[in-house]
A and B are shown apart, each in its own frame.
Chain A
Amino acid sequence: MDDFHTSQPIFVQIRQRLTEMILRGAVGEGEALPSVRQIAADLSVNPLTVTKAFEALVDVGVVEKRRGLGMFVKTGARAELLAHERDKFLKEDWPRIAAQIKALDLDLQTLLSSSTATKGAEK
């Protein structure tokens, strides 16, 4: 988890992790997110990088800054994020995955049975 050397900037990866926390319900609506300082220390990253990740979530409208108190998850954030992430998946990830499915000549039946099989294996 300390390996940030992928094609994505670190602030994007931190934003992604915060997004996941909200989607999973690890931090509920109206609750406080970990502080910039806490995250910076935990991950050994620059506080400005963490601030940038928070700002990206403020821009989407799912997180708000309460002066002197920190960052809070806004009401309705989960639904909003879910819509945002779905939209992002369909626009950015799905075309690539769909192309790969096509290239590998996979049919729906095979895909569905293989995904239920892995689910079973996980349990």
Chain B
Amino acid sequence: MTELSSAPLETIEPIVSARGLRKSFGRKEILHGLDFDIPAGRIYGLIGHNGAGKTTTLNAMLGLTNCEGTIRVLGEDPFARRAKLMENVAFISDVASLPRFLRVRELFALLTNIHPNFSQEKARSFLEGTDIKPEMKIKHLSKGMIAQLHLAVVMAIDAKLLVLDEPTLGLDITYRKRFYRRLLEDYMTEERTLLITTHQVDEIEFMLSDIMFIRDGELILHMQMETVNDKFTQLVVNDPEQQAAARQHGPVYEETRFGQTVMIFDGVERDLLEPYGKLSTPTLSDLFVALMQRPTANPETAQ
């Protein structure tokens, strides 16, 4: 990307870097050795089933759990240097809760005291145009309002890395749209990195610059969205003869819905597939379903 090549030197270093990241709970290994780098200025989607290891991976980045292998966030070991790191990392957990007994302004005052990079002024400005008023008690806010407040709080922290674990869970579509709009409008810059996990992946897929698919504690896909578009093709083909012909090109996934057959191909030239039917780029959720059902993540042994 040309934007990155002109970036100042210090931002070239990845924001997060993991090597051989493993985690076990008792005898059960949850993460089987993840390797990845997340550069600055990007919006990452971490996608996987419940229990695949998403939250454990996030917790490792945030220093909330001790893992085997190496993980560095902004060059630091998050488990050893958690307090220092939290100056530059903000986080909304999927089980996020704000102190319910406080008023909004009291929460802001508390944060001003405990967080060096929290700006009360910014937080208040982010609440303008919402129904949330400084005098309101948190316990009287609706679920959507709490999410708005939480986002206002984390966006008011001048962080380099923002981690959102299922941030829009349980919110209606209007709130979800507003939530992401806010992030793009007021938070995202070339120096900042955003990492999002969500089950509503189609809602954010065009926001993402990169995706990571995690399955049973393994990273089965880590790719720039642009590459995903080049590499994967979806073909809708109805005629049985054409289907048989298309099948020769080795689809990684095939499904018949309403008498229509949908195939997904990995790394097959579009020119070759064009004659058989209608081509498109699979949605992230279709791709996710396709790759989750592959017997193995390794294409060589998949067939």
Binding site for B on A (CB under 8 A): 4-7, 9-10, 37-38, 40-41, 43-49, 51, 55
Contact = CB atoms under 8 A, between A and B. Distances in A.
A9 B229 contact: yes
Given A7-B279, A41-B185, A44-B177, 20 more contacts: A6-B280, A7-B280, A10-B206, A37-B184, A37-B185, A37-B188, A38-B185, A40-B184, A41-B181, A44-B180, A44-B181, A44-B206, A44-B207, A46-B206, A46-B209, A47-B184, A48-B3, A48-B41, A48-B209, A49-B206
A40 B188 contact: yes
Given A5-B281, A7-B280, A46 B3 contact: no
Interface of B: 1-3, 41-43, 177, 180-181, 184-185, 188, 203-204, 206-209, 225-226, 229, 279-281, 283
B184 to A, nearest CB: 4
A110 B280 CA distance: 34
Nearest to A55: B2
A80 to B, nearest CB: 23
Given A7-B280, A41-B181, A41-B184, A48 B206 contact: no
Contacts of A43: 206
B207 A46 contact: yes
A13 B206 CA distance: 12
A4 B185 CA distance: 20
Contacts of B188: 37, 40, 47
A9 B42 CA distance: 19
Contacts of A49: 206
A5 B283 CA distance: 8
A46 B281 contact: no
A43 B280 CA distance: 20
Nearest to B281: A5
A5 B233 CA distance: 12
B225 A46 contact: yes
A7 B278 CA distance: 9
A50 to B, nearest CB: 10
Contacts of A41: 181, 184-185
A48 B180 CA distance: 16
Contacts of B206: 4, 10, 43-46, 49
